[in-house]
Amino acid sequence: MRNSDSKTYLMVLPVYYYRLDSQTVALESAFVKHLMLLREKISPIFNHLVVGLVEMSDEEYSHRKQWLSVVDESEAGIRFKSLYRVQDLSSKAQQFFQLFRVANRLKSLISQCDLLHTGLAANIWFPMEFIATLLGRILKKPTVYVVDIDFRNTAQMSYETGTWSLKSYLLCKYIYDSFRALQVYCASKICSLILLKGEKLCRDFGRGKPNVKNFLDAAHSRHHIIRRDRLAQKLLNLEDQGRPLEVVYFGRLTPYKGVDRCLHAVAIAHHQFGCDVVFHVIGSGEQLEELKRLAQSLKIIERVIFHGALPFNQDFFEKLYSYHLLLAAPLNEDTPRSALDAMAAGIPILAFDTYYYRDLSATGAVDTVAWPSIEEMSQKIAYYSKNRDLLADMAVQAVEFAKQNTQEEWLQRRFEWTLAFAGITQPALATPQTGQRQLSNVS
């Protein structure tokens, strides 16, 4: 029997983790920080935070462990539950049979929770999160539903870049995306709070409903934000034309991120426009060696520094502080946390004109070029190299936006929304400090 005074917050997410022993697990470091802050935030109401995740294989853990953080469940006050092992879904037949087992596990977990947090199921053959959403409705649990990317343009973009065939484009656009849209539509009808990342996504599915909110999933905290004296020194260095323009990309090195496009843009800016530029690449992934070979073939290997993967901590931000411009050239719609992390470090952004960066351009810290134009990106790199004062102004705007949109700020907003729309009450809630510069339809 559960204690009637004991309340459980359950998250069901397709996030990988690795169990080291009966008490400790390893997860991506930024996600660990988010869970710790969430645990602290919900503690006045919820006694337990339970997170249902996906067990990664031994091979995957060996490859990724350098940037994972270890969590002791008893010390953190968080319990991690395995929904399935990634190696159990190697075929369509396995996915079919495993889905019934996962549904039973979900039913058991959801029946014992007081609030369910889940989101969009991207895998049409294994719609785990959709099942969780429906079970939440059947079991009458308040549910928070999160969609962190507008998926609707991915098929068209992948077809235009030649990544997908016509068959893949048609299947995705008319079958997979239709199923995903159906999920969001259902969630807007049956869930307590719906958090959608992007103004258009929120507008199209929310249609003015008060429980449908546009949101940012910031990972930085106030102590990560560049200090005033450090920013002042950075701006002085930035305006020194005798120094190279330091551009950076950080994140996964995988084809859809378009890091190869960034390399081409840097090469054109240097060779054609005479731009003194150094490109820092921070991260790891299956494309690493290919990118190194590309830098060599473009004859800019001496201007590209591959730093490898770094853990998400203060040292990571200390490294970011010296860089001048973040490059983002996604080939699909993408909503990376790196954009806000860059702003916290006083780094303006130059990006392809996808919806996420288009929304962020209102901050004054983001400039966009036509998707997927390498030529326009190279021209802008050269332009900002000559007009450093513009980058300095954008850096100041970036820091201001980062101050107003820390992870703690967004957790507070999300928690208040959750309590309001889930019908949960608590003693006095602290009113968050909010700045004036916000996304235009965030309420």
Taking only the tens place, the pLDDT of each residue in 319-350 is 999 999 999 999 999 999 999 999 999 999 99
Burial of 431: CB neighbours in 10 Å, binned 0-12, 13-18, 19+: exposed
Say whether 222-403 and 8-219+407-422 share the same fold: yes
Lowest mean pLDDT among 53-62, 166-175, 393-402, 431-440: 431-440
Residue 2 pLDDT level (bands cut at 50, 70, 90):
low
Alpha-carbon distance of 356 to 366, in angstroms, equals 11
**How much of the chain, in percent, has pLDDT values that exceed 70?**
95
Sign of the Cα pseudo-torsion (411, 413, 419, 422, in order): negative
The CATH number of 8-219+407-422, from 3.60.10.10, 3.40.50.2000, 3.30.300.130, 1.20.1090.10, is: 3.40.50.2000
The mean per-residue pLDDT over the stretch 117-133 comes to 96
Asked whether 10 and 116 are in contact (CB, 8 A), the reply is yes
Give the CATH fold of the 222-403 domain.
Rossmann fold (3.40.50)
pLDDT at 438: 42
- Asked if pLDDT for residue 56 goes beyond 70, the answer is yes
pLDDT at 409: 96
pLDDT at 63: 86
- Asked if pLDDT for residue 443 goes beyond 80, the answer is no
pLDDT at 437: 41
Alpha-carbon distance of 112 to 3, in angstroms, equals 11
pLDDT at 64: 87
Domains of the chain by residue range: 8-219+407-422, 222-403
pLDDT at 65: 87
Residue 92 pLDDT level (bands cut at 50, 70, 90):
confident
pLDDT at 96: 87
pLDDT at 425: 78
Alpha-carbon distance of 436 to 418, in angstroms, equals 23
pLDDT digits (tens, 9 = 90+) for 214-273: 999 899 999 999 999 999 999 999 989 999 999 999 999 999 999 999 999 999 999 999
The mean per-residue pLDDT over the stretch 53-66 comes to 92
Alpha-carbon distance of 285 to 253, in angstroms, equals 4
Among 113, 115, 110, which residue's Cα sits nearest to residue 128? 110
The mean per-residue pLDDT over the stretch 52-56 comes to 97
- Asked if pLDDT for residue 1 goes beyond 60, the answer is no
pLDDT digits (tens, 9 = 90+) for 384-441: 999 999 999 999 999 999 999 999 999 999 999 999 999 987 655 444 444 434 443 3
The mean per-residue pLDDT over the stretch 43-68 comes to 93
